Each structure stands twice: as structure tokens, then as C-alpha cells.
Amino acid sequence: MTHDTLVYSTKEEIKQCTEDLAATFETGLTRPLSFRKQQLRQFVRLCDEQRDALLEAVQKDIGKHPYETMACELALVRDDAMRALDKLSSWAKPEYPSVRLTFALSRPHVRRVPYGMALIMGAWNYPLVLMLAPFVGAMAAGNTVVLKPSELAPYSARAITELLPRYLDQRAYRVVNGAVEESSQLLATKFDYIFYTGSGHVGRIVMQAAAQQLTPVTLELGGKSPLIIHRSCNLSVTANRLFFGKFLNCGQTCIAPDYVLCPRDLIEPLMVELRRCYKAFFDGNARRSECYGKIINERHFDRLMGLLEEDKASGCQVLLGGTSDREARYIEPTVILSNAKAALMRDEIFGPFMPIIEMDSVDEAISFVNRRDQPLTLYLFATDKKVIEKVRESTRSGAMLINDTMVHMAIAQLPFGGSGASGMGRYRGKAGFDTFSNQRAFVHNGYFDDPARHLLIYPPYNTKRIPL
């Protein structure tokens, strides 16, 4: 099947690809650290030499400014690969835990070894980093890898498909393209690890398929990430970071602050600051700004505008923005005075709408958050130490950011991932290497026929001596 921009893989190609990569793993090609390092070096070369082609592809898909793609995607995966190159030898070193004397002679240790053939399925909103950052972890860990980019970002998927073989060993790493049919065929295949990024709906399909093969999974899902504003915050800095985090990539970011819980009397001053941000970031007209992208497709555009219309009809007030253009897939950064029952509060918004809900106490905000699924990220803006501690200790989430938005994705030393409905498993840096490694336990004993065993362990049992 052929999409306008992207050629989908055929059934035969997918079958051949998985057979080839499973066979390659058996040959041991990807196991030596020297091979992995050489491939990681090639990957860095790809990032450097094909930078413009990759940035252009993302711009075509989602209208993202190349600077933003560089900062939020390509630079991160390049850094990840550089770090993996630097640290791989130490990450892969056998680990000798300290054990009691009885076992010391058995030299117990842990070796991080590759699972085998891994599948990585990416989402469209950050088509490079969501595919290539886990890929770095899988490569570093010594797996063979099938990459399945999202068909909703066809230019990026095509760029990855065309460029990867020019730099990386095709015996070990391949790209499969397609939509539901092709993904389903992949999921019916026996992989040794599946790493999925996308919606919880498809996450469940992936996990069910993996269960049939008893394949371990990492699920990087989404959900509604709340942002709590406490009156002890600095409102001006809060607004800068909130506006940036919410409207980056038109709100199509898994860790975007989804909604804001704010004390009643701070809403008006917050709006003054948010209007200032709109003027400063997009000159008060995002439509004309080259730094503001577009909604991925008409289906998402219609979904988003439908929610806004529903909320407007039920009395929610638009405080900022609200304009749109379907043909250009443009939706203006929009702030809405909302409530818990609003349409925008049902599911993850994944678009440039910021509902603000009045909340008079921290306790009320905490119980509002805790009544919902565990978020990928919880944001809190406050300086009051007691408040910070209270929110931290009484909530759950994949990550918590205090007085900032988004930056944790850029810090590769922090394991990235969700909790509860926002996902399971972690990646980036060492966490990515560990995710794609089987922690294989070893005992390596000699042949000294230890008399203590005869006395304490082997039958016949001497009940007067309890050895353990």
C-alpha cells in the first residue's frame, strides 16, 4: 500500500525483515561492544550530516520550526548517542554484588545482555526523538531493532527510512512502515522486547499482543498532566514557563501541562501575564509566527474544535485566543475559564487549549489530581516548602516538576516514563540501556567439594543444624 508520501511495507517485507533480524541476533553480530559503539558513532554521523533533511521532514509534517526540532528532538538523541558511546563500557560491565561469605566463592554477578530482537513503535508528535531515543538504548544494549514510525508523520517516517540504511548496518536495524494493518502484523510476530509510545488505547492493544508471546513491554503513554499554581509562586515566571510548555508544538506534547488549577483571585493577574507572554513569544498573533506550528491533521483539528465549541456552548469563557483556520490546520493559543465537567477535562487535550479551573486550596487541588489517572508529569508552581512537600508526598506521577515545565525530557540522566495509566517502564541514558537489557544473573563456581555442604545442605538432613 502507498500513502502519498510514504510507501508502506508489504506483508512479505515485514515477514522477511523480522526473520532476518531474528537470525542476525542469533549470529551474535550485535553483541560485541565494539559493534555497538561503531553503530552509535555512525548514528551520530547521521544526526550531524543529515540534520537539515531531518529538520525539514518534521517541519513538513507538523510545521515545527527547525530550531525547535533541533532543541527538542535531534540534539537530544545525538546527546543520548554520545553519552551511550562514552558510558557503554561501564554500563555493560558485569556487576558483582557484595554477598555473604557462604556465596562469595561462587562469584555471583549480573551481566546486562541484550534481549534479542526489539520492536520500537513511535508516535507522530515528536517523530524523531520518540523513535530514535529508545533506539539508542536498544542499540547500546546490543539488540537487533525494528523501527515502526507513526504513519501520521509521513515525511519524518520517510526520512528515517531512507537515511538509516545509509549509516547503519541493515542486518541489525530496519524500518517498517504502515498503519494499523502493518502494526498488527508486527505485533503478531514474536519479539523479545516491545517499546511503544502513543495513546493508552493502542497501548492496551500492544500489551495484549505482547501478552500472547510473553514479551516484556515499555509503554510510554499520555494523559492529563495537571499544573497546580500556589499563591506562593512568582506569577510572572510561572506564566512564562506555563505558556511555553503548554503551547510548544501547539500543545501536542505528551508532557504538556494539560490543565491549570489556580486560586480564584490569581486568575486575572495570571491572565495579564499570559497575554504578555503571547505578545512576547508570538507577537500576539501566532498565525503569523514562524515559531508556531500546526495541528497534525484535520481529524485532530475537528476533534479539538468540537471540544472547544461544546465548552463555549455550555458557558465556558474564552479568556485568550480562540480563533482557528481548518485549511491551515491552525488553532490559536487559547485559554479558557473551565470547570471539572467541561468537555476539555474529559481526556488528554493534545492541542493548544489551556483550561483554567478555580481551586481555593492545595488540599482541593491534590484531591482533584488524585481522583484522576496518574499523570505522566505533575507540575507545581510554589515556593512554600510545606506546600511543595505536601503535594510531593500525597500524589503519584511519572515525574514531578516544581517551578518548571518540560525540562526533564532534556535531562538524559533522569529516567523518563509514566506511572499507572500514563505508562510503565523508563528510558533515556542508563535507564534506556537497562530497559533493553536482560539482567542475567550468573553464578560461576569452581569444583572445590565444600564439606560444609555435605554437613549442612545435602540430605540426609540433620535437623539439629539449621543452616540459614
Residues engaged in binding ligand NAD (CB under 6 A): 121, 123-125, 130, 148, 150-152, 179-180, 183-184, 197-199, 202, 205, 220-222, 254, 348, 350, 376, 418, 423
Q: Given the complex with ligand NAD, which of 154 and 263 has the nearer CB atom?
A: 154
Instruction: State the virtual CA torsion across 24, 153, 84, 206 in degrees, nearest 10.
Output: -60
CB 369 within 8 A of CB 379: no
Q: Is 254 a catalytic residue?
A: yes
How far CA 231 is from CA of 219, 245, 246, 266, 369, in Å, comes to 35, 20, 20, 7, 18
> Cβ of residue 200: shortest distance to ligand NAD, in angstroms?
7
Which of 17, 250, 254, 316 is flagged as catalytic? 254
Which of 68, 151, 182, 220 is flagged as catalytic? 220
Question: Which DSSP state fits 330?
Answer: E
Instruction: Map residue 23 onto helix, strand or coil.
Output: helix
How do 330-331 and 324-325 pair as beta strands? Answer: antiparallel
Q: What are phi and psi of 310, to 5 degrees?
A: -60, -45
Question: What is the C-alpha radius of gyration for the chain, rounded to an integer number of angstroms?
Answer: 25
Q: Is 250 a catalytic residue?
A: no
User: How far apart are the C-alpha atoms of 347 and 345, rounded to whole Å?
Assistant: 6
Q: Given the complex with ligand NAD, which of 220 and 332 has the nearer CB atom?
A: 220
Q: Which residues contact 226 (CB under 8 A, 6 or more apart)?
A: 257, 258, 259, 260, 261, 365, 368, 369, 372, 375, 378, 379
How far CA 27 is from CA of 21, 23, 171, 388, in Å, comes to 10, 7, 10, 53
> Cβ of residue 123: shortest distance to ligand NAD, in angstroms?
4
> Cβ of residue 133: shortest distance to ligand NAD, in angstroms?
9
Q: Given the complex with ligand NAD, which of 83 and 148 has the nearer CB atom?
A: 148
Q: Given the complex with ligand NAD, which of 198 and 432 has the nearer CB atom?
A: 198
User: How far apart are the C-alpha atoms of 226 and 221, rounded to whole Å?
Assistant: 15
Q: Given the complex with ligand NAD, which of 152 and 331 has the nearer CB atom?
A: 152
Q: Given the complex with ligand NAD, which of 321 and 425 has the nearer CB atom?
A: 425
> Cβ of residue 118: shortest distance to ligand NAD, in angstroms?
15
> Cβ of residue 188: shortest distance to ligand NAD, in angstroms?
10
> Cβ of residue 249: shortest distance to ligand NAD, in angstroms?
10
User: How far apart are the C-alpha atoms of 128 and 147, rounded to whole Å?
Assistant: 11
> Cβ of residue 134: shortest distance to ligand NAD, in angstroms?
9
Cβ atoms < 10 Å from Cβ of 181 = 12
Q: Given the complex with ligand NAD, which of 188 and 280 has the nearer CB atom?
A: 188
E strand residue ranges, 359-436: 377-381, 399-402, 423-424
Position closest to ligand NAD via CB: 222
Instruction: Map residue 354 onto helix, strand or coil.
Output: strand
Give the catalytic positions in this structure.
220, 254
